[in-house]
Structure 1
């Protein structure tokens, strides 16, 4: 019985330790404002002297302004991460405003370092994510509705309506990162071999070359 209890404690400790590794490290001091000019390379951003921190380090204006959606996708993302708001350093959080023109799309992408929670402020969105066993979880969201995209899952948002839509997202990392699926496949530098892409997508080389040309 005692051995079973010890084993259970060890298992719980290992689980909690591995879970913690999947997220930004916890802060060990009150503030650690990002020093963008530091020559020190760390997993994150080095701190500047706390005595030199100001209120502006924790302030970012402008999320009330609509993004420019006059592009091929009809969407615009204004991400407020540690690069724009130095006070986020070590806090494990960031946020974004996403604007969608009618039929605008925030295309399939992943955030390798963050879970995302999204709330619709205006309009309606069709959103979803795909798990590692290719199961789709999708929902139509209206004003005030919220949806969660688990860390690392490919997800998307599409404005199927005839009016503009606006959403805000919170992300569980100071620097969540974004990998757009299409850009990764067709816009990498140097490009992925045609042999790989034709077999992966089961299309001919001409089709691959055409799609690659759209990302140059």
Structure 2
């Protein structure tokens, strides 16, 4: 894959570049601020970008805002955001355009190289990947818009929010893939998500999961 890295820490930026190179990927640009990220994505059209949330000058959410702007200029550009902390609103902002190909992981996940690369591949392939810690905190802190779902359907939706495929969900829950497909269909029906050419229903379901 061709990858852009946006990270203001030189040490982490170089470490990511080396890790990706060893995994057989090509880093086409490595930048340290938001405007440079937008320019790099517009110029290189990478398969995926890895973006730190907090970047200069204020180190709040410049990276996130730059990632959203990059996706506005290059619709659907895959972006995997890394954060030191769990911020549910960041995940919601990333998902707001309903096109998928986004991820939100805690930086600690980079330590688990296999998990990190798996998430990166899923985002590059158009999937949606949310850190399990983000999902857990959202479950605790949000109001409950999903009252019609059964406990098992909530569990399936939580795994969908992490970016898991039906096959991966079936393996995690030790049930058949057919059973997972039935649960997913029930989730869509209960959330009123009819088939649509413009909106990805899995993304819409995750938005409902994050909503409120």
Asked if Structure 1 and Structure 2 have the same fold, meaning a TM-score greater than 0.5 normalized by the shorter chain, the answer is: no
Output the TM-score relative to the length of structure 2: 0.27
Choose 1 or 2 for highest CA Rg. 1
